[in-house]
Amino acid sequence: MAGEQSAVDGRKVRGVRRKAQIIDATLTVVHRDGAAGVTHRTVAKEAGITASLTLYYFATLDDLLVAALTSVADAYTERIRTIIDSDEDKLLGLAELLAESAGPGRERALAERELSTLAARRPALRPVARRWRDNVAELARTQTDDQDAIETLVALSDGLCAAILLGDREADPAHLRTLLSNALSTH
Amino acid sequence: MAGEQSAVDGRKVRGVRRKAQIIDATLTVVHRDGAAGVTHRTVAKEAGITASLTLYYFATLDDLLVAALTSVADAYTERIRTIIDSDEDKLLGLAELLAESAGPGRERALAERELSTLAARRPALRPVARRWRDNVAELARTQTDDQDAIETLVALSDGLCAAILLGDREADPAHLRTLLSNALSTH
DNA sequence: CAACAAGTTGTACTACGGTACAAGTAGTAC
DNA sequence: GTACTACTTGTACCGTAGTACAACTTGTTG
């Protein structure tokens, strides 16, 4: 039983790892060449495998992009949930998350942002992008009941928006928290 | 003399009008299919002419994109200059400009924004995009000497950022002005 | 080892898009 | 009208990319 299972699992694990590897390569390409640079071939080259193999795991480009976006959205969701479940200052938690996007994780955040921007054009990506936003909205709802304020907070938490607002300056979580708080109290 | 000139001018005018027509079509395509949807053929089809003709006026895609971006940047620049030269409340003028981008001109603003986003990937577009920002910075400089504050204002005036911040809500220039003013006083 | 499934590769077909180019049209000057 | 130039078109070449597919390799089971 255990042997039988672990054998099957062994293959599955390999497949999962390949998928993860391909998704990683995809994000690297997005980061380097933009979302428009993502093709079966560029991703394969980046991953050091053949284009056919990316097709074996992701039949179409949409599949690949959805997987990549889902991957980053899931990671983001997990962090959001940690913030929601904690007893700390939730607004400060969000501010820290944003600060990271504008600081050390800036490049990665821009790549993520490119993907979610692409969602506006690729219908297949929309559900994932929506889910992403919903998660932030849920966090916002722990702070206020004002729908407008929630939307503002979601908008402010937008990675690119934050990156633009912050520019290359030091991202001070405390300062960011003030900004978010102001946004909430405006309504 | 006058006849000779007007003859030459007549041809030139036709050429200029064609160029304008092609640029218009380009913006329409950007708005409808995104910047990635811009090709010689799609633009030509949109304009109702042959692809060869777009090539006659814009030898490469970059030429076409630069022209399109320049076109919208020039229009924007002119409006900025009007604000700077006026004796009215300059901050309110900028707020009105932004309100328009989030309201009736939202679609167009998004198209413009897509183009300037593309500038991050296409080196040829960068000078134009930079000039665009510089114009807003110049306007900001009439309000404060704080370099950080100027950058914040420039960031806030970013079309997409404003669109996101405002969402689908009514864009009240007075409210926007408060936001801008707050941004300035934060520093 | 034989059978089988997962994983992997190379090759090819097709469509699209950038670009070149030769040929044709039309307006203008002499 | 003739020459000239701007304008316009159709056609074609080439590279890239999405996708299909058949063959091959490798690991697993019995």
Lowest-confidence segment of B24-28, B43-47, B106-110 by average pLDDT: B106-110
Least confident interval from A34-43, A129-138, B96-105? B96-105
Domains of chain B (ranges, CATH numbers)? 1-59 (1.10.10), 62-187 (1.10.357.10)
CA nearest to A183 within chain B: B179
Give the mean model confidence (pLDDT) for residues A9-37.
Answer: 86
Optimal mutation site among A161, A166, A172, A175, interface B, most CBs of chain B within 10 A? A161
Strand D-proximal residues of A, range 49-108, CB below 7 A, are 51-52, 55, 59-61
CA of B57 to C1' of D6 (A): 12
| Per-residue pLDDT tens over the stretch B39-97 | 999 999 999 999 999 999 999 999 999 999 999 889 888 988 898 889 888 888 877 87
Least CB–CB distance from B161: residue in A120, A151, A161: A161
The minimum CA-CA distance between A153 and chain B, rounded to whole Å, is: 9
User: Is ipTM over 0.90?
Assistant: no
Question: Residue B159's closest chain A neighbor by CA?
Answer: A161
Amino acid identity of residue A65, one-letter, is L
The full DSSP string for A82-146 is HHHHSSS-HHHHHHHHHHHHHTTTHHHHHHHHHHHHHTTT-GGGHHHHHHHHHHHHHHHHTT---
pLDDT for residue B168 is more than 60: no
Which residue pairs, CB below 8 angstroms and at least 24 apart, start in A13-22?
A: A15/A57, A18/A53, A18/A57, A19/A57, A19/A58, A19/A67, A21/A47, A21/A49, A22/A47, A22/A49, A22/A53, A22/A54, A22/A57, A22/A58, A22/A64
Residues of A in contact with B152 (CB under 8 A): 165, 167
Give the residue from A123, A154, A135 showing the smallest Cα distance to A72: A135
Q: Is the CB of B15 under 7 A from strand C?
A: no
Whether the predicted pLDDT of B3 surpasses 50? no
Query: Is B11 near strand C, with its CB below 7 A from some atom of it?
Result: yes
Residue nearest to nucleotide C28 (CA to C1'): B7
pLDDT the model gives residue A122: 85
Cα nearest neighbour of A113 on chain B? B117
Tell me the nearest-neighbour CA distance from B90 into chain A, angstroms. 21
Q: List the nucleotides on chain C closer than 7 A to a protein CB.
A: 6-11, 16-22, 27-30
Instruction: Check if A33 contacts B (Cβ < 8 Å).
Output: yes
Q: Are B42 and B84 in contact (CB under 8 A)?
A: no
Note whether B165 contacts A: Cβ–Cβ < 8 A: yes
The two three-digit tokens of residue B56, written as one number:
């006659």
Kindly indicate the confidence band of residue A48, based on its pLDDT and cuts at 50, 70 and 90: very high
Give the pLDDT confidence of B135-159 residue by residue, as tens digits: 888 888 887 787 766 766 676 665 4
Per residue in A56-87, pLDDT tens? 999 999 999 999 999 988 988 898 889 888 98
Strand C–CB B7 distance below 7 A: yes
pLDDT at A47 over 60: yes
What are the residues whose beta carbons fall under 8 Å from the beta carbon of B82, sequence distance 6 or more?
B93
Span CA (A13) to C1' (D30), Å: 23
Residue A164's pLDDT is 47
Give the chain A residue nearest B169 (alpha carbons): A148
